[in-house]
Amino acid sequence: MAASLREQVEQLLPGWESWYPSLFDAAQDLGLIRARVCSPDSLLLSNSHAAVRQSAENLHRERWGGTEDSSAGRSGGKRRRPGPRRRRVGSRTATDRDQSLDALLDSMPGPESDLER
């Protein structure tokens, strides 16, 4: 089994904590780890997410069928123009609520109808 980075540093330089602020600084100076130069495009999360999304779409197609063109309709077609704005259910004015409440109360039998019995 491979030794951990800490074990490797301690084997090469016992007491490294007194010389270095972090394990990674000591490991870098000892040549156990080194920075790697990469293109800025590889650092963008959107690129790695795109690769993950593409593999998920391929797996879905492989399992459930479909073509690559079916996913294009979802993201790339014409945008629908919004229709006229509709009034939200909860956007009534106080006057509307009062009129509705009055109509409801008028339709209910009142206490005088109980006295007539």
* Angle subtended at Cα 35 by Cα 29 and Cα 38, rounded to the nearest 5 degrees: 170
- C-alpha distances (whole Å) from 90 to each of 45, 74, 86 are 41, 32, 12
33 in a structural domain = yes
Q: Residue 19 belongs to what domain range?
A: 1-39
Please state, in angstroms and rounded to a whole number, the distance separating the CA atoms of residues 23 and 5.
8
Please answer whether residues 6 and 20 qualify as being in contact, where contact means their C-beta atoms are separated by less than 8 angstroms. no
Average pLDDT, the chain: 77
Q: Looking at residue 65, what is its pLDDT?
A: 82
Instruction: Report residue 19's pLDDT band, with 50, 70 and 90 as the boundaries.
Output: very high
* Domains held by the chain: number: 1
73 in a structural domain = no
What digits encode the pLDDT tens for the residues 51-95? 888 989 998 998 888 776 654 445 555 566 666 666 555 555 667
77 in a structural domain = no
Q: Looking at residue 90, what is its pLDDT?
A: 58
70 in a structural domain = no
DSSP at 72: H
